[in-house]
Structure 1
């Protein structure tokens, strides 16, 4: 749904729409052959396995932008596709415990300080609405100052976008433009654009 149509809805209609979207998203995610969660640094994937499956019974391929999980006894992979974003392969891992394959994918963006929420693990899977992600407050307080600041900025920017208002970066540019206009009243800014 276009954000302008969403913005034009009453609060009750928006709440009903959000509820329906959340139910659809939950149903889609439940249909996947795995469960997943994330924080800003790591995507965690839990894949239920047949009883008695051991690590040596699996073929797990983790590449910078690809993930494949397959039982060696099966022709069909459990997971196979392109990852939403790059991972740090050397910092990612997998283990088998209690008939569950646990995969920890280290987001490459965590290494370059450009944190991002993933809408899905594999690009061929249904997406979640990343604007609705609310990090647990207790977890937020455990983050170092720089990371916490980034999370709070992302949350602020997502809320601003949802309300159709400028993000912190866009507001900074608008403020700079206003100061420049005030300093140069002789200039014509009627065709000025801010990118």
Structure 2
């Protein structure tokens, strides 16, 4: 059931109309996916430096490909990066579980308000699912404003 609440598609981070990377998020993490250039012989030349509020990605000996502040702080000890099939996957562990990010990079290429609202609703449903195992919230809908997934006081009430 929880799989139904996972991100259905990745968002594109664009700069001057070109895709820089794709990204998605869950309650606990933000994932970035960077297509690596095919002409680099050794994948060991790539690097990624993850700091609490900053990420830097590049090829050793060259200016960084990405060198930006993050939208929100991350847990550096739980964040990591890997390369598989010519894609660098950066997994950023959110410091504030449930916080809805409108973009991984602070102030740039943010989701529009409608897409941000859809993300917040999906994360809220993910939180309901996590706090109430055995219930299927995949078809649930919100009317009005969706509660903030990071401050929601869990559990189902029967008042």
Same fold by TM-score greater than 0.5: yes
Cross-structure match for 1:160: 144
Contact 1:81 1:124 in 2 (8 A): no
Q: Which runs of 5+ in 2 are unaligned?
A: 1-10, 149-159
Q: Cα distance, 1:32 vs. partner?
A: 3.4
Q: Which has the higher contact order (CA 8 A, sep 6+)?
A: 2
Q: 1:141 to 1:69 in 2, by over 3 A?
A: closer
Indicate the RMSD between aligned Cα atoms, in angstroms: 3.7
Off by >6 Å, runs of 4+ in structure 1: none
Residue 122 of structure 1 is aligned with which of 83, 91, 105? 105
Q: Cα distance, 1:49 vs. partner?
A: 0.6
1:106 and 2:93 matched: yes
Contact 1:55 1:95 in 2 (8 A): no
Residue 36 of structure 2 is aligned with which of 49, 53, 70? 49
| Structure number having the greater helix percentage | 1
| Structure number having the greater strand percentage | 2
Cross-structure match for 1:7: none
Q: Which runs of 5+ in 1 are unaligned?
A: 1-24, 169-195
Q: 1:124 to 1:78 in 2, by over 3 A?
A: farther
TM-score (normalised: structure 2): 0.64
Where in structure 2 are the equivalents of 1:1-195 lying within 5 Å?
A: 28=14, 31-51=18-38, 52=40, 54-75=42-63, 77-110=64-97, 115-128=98-111, 129=113, 130-133=116-119, 134-135=121-122, 140=126, 143-145=129-131, 156=142, 160-161=144-145
State the alpha-carbon separation in 2 of the partners of residues 44 and 53 from structure 1. Answer: 25
How many residues get paired? Answer: 128
Give the secondary-structure state (helix, strand or coil) at the position aligned to 2:96.
Answer: helix
Q: 1:98 to 1:83 in 2, by over 3 A?
A: same
Contact 2:12 2:23 in 1 (8 A): no
Q: Cα distance, 1:56 vs. partner?
A: 2.1
Q: Cα distance, 1:141 vs. partner?
A: 8.7
